[in-house]
Amino acid sequence: MPALLRSPSRLYKVVSVTEAVTWTGLLIGLFLKYVTETTELAVSVFGMLHGIVFIAYCLTTVAIAIDQRWSFGRLVAGLASSIPPLLTLWFDWYAERRGLLASQWRLVQESPVRPLERPLAWLVRNPVRGLATGVASVAALTVIALLVGPPVGG
């Protein structure tokens, strides 16, 4: 199993930090575009990267919330933390401190009981297929987002 996927804790840390890094790049790009009026390139590059990582963060949050049996409110808080810049770092810290991020996937050992646990159990028990499914899901959702168009004002 790839090291990144071995634990919900490690996966969430990597994805939440990556989301914050791409947010920072996008904010720098917006500064360069609108304040210094020097270039739009950073907005194009980091806007696309941030969009992709934002989708990956949301999918990762949902998967971990299902596996770790987070409450609906915690799931919403985790998803909402991706909207303000850098808040994913705080939510990762919060989740780690509260024991919401285990060192192992619960559904690798336990039998799925709830409907959404069944497909997730298959994904975490077959990590290469799970990773491929995750990458394909991020790609498909990114294409859909590109077809829908940029956010209002983008």
Angstrom CA distances, 132 to 122, 127, 137, 154, stand at 13, 8, 8, 30
Instruction: Inform me whether the pLDDT recorded for 2 exceeds 90.
Output: no
Q: Which contacts qualify for 16-19: CB closer than 8 Å, 24 or more apart?
A: 16/57, 16/88, 16/89, 16/91, 16/92, 17/88, 17/89, 17/92, 18/53, 18/56, 18/57, 19/50, 19/53, 19/54, 19/56, 19/57, 19/82, 19/88
Tens digit of each residue's pLDDT (9 = 90 or more) over 67-119: 999 999 999 999 999 999 999 999 999 999 999 999 999 999 999 999 999 99
pTM: 0.93
Instruction: Inform me whether the pLDDT recorded for 21 exceeds 60.
Output: yes
Of 61, 135, 136, give the one whose Cα is nearest residue 101: 61
Q: Specify the pLDDT at position 150.
A: 73
123, 107 in Cβ contact below 8 A? no
Instruction: Inform me whether the pLDDT recorded for 11 exceeds 70.
Output: yes
| Torsion angle of C-alpha atoms 44, 45, 50, 52, degrees rounded to 10 | 100
Instruction: Inform me whether the pLDDT recorded for 132 exceeds 80.
Output: yes
Instruction: Inform me whether the pLDDT recorded for 149 exceeds 90.
Output: no
Instruction: Inform me whether the pLDDT recorded for 38 exceeds 90.
Output: yes
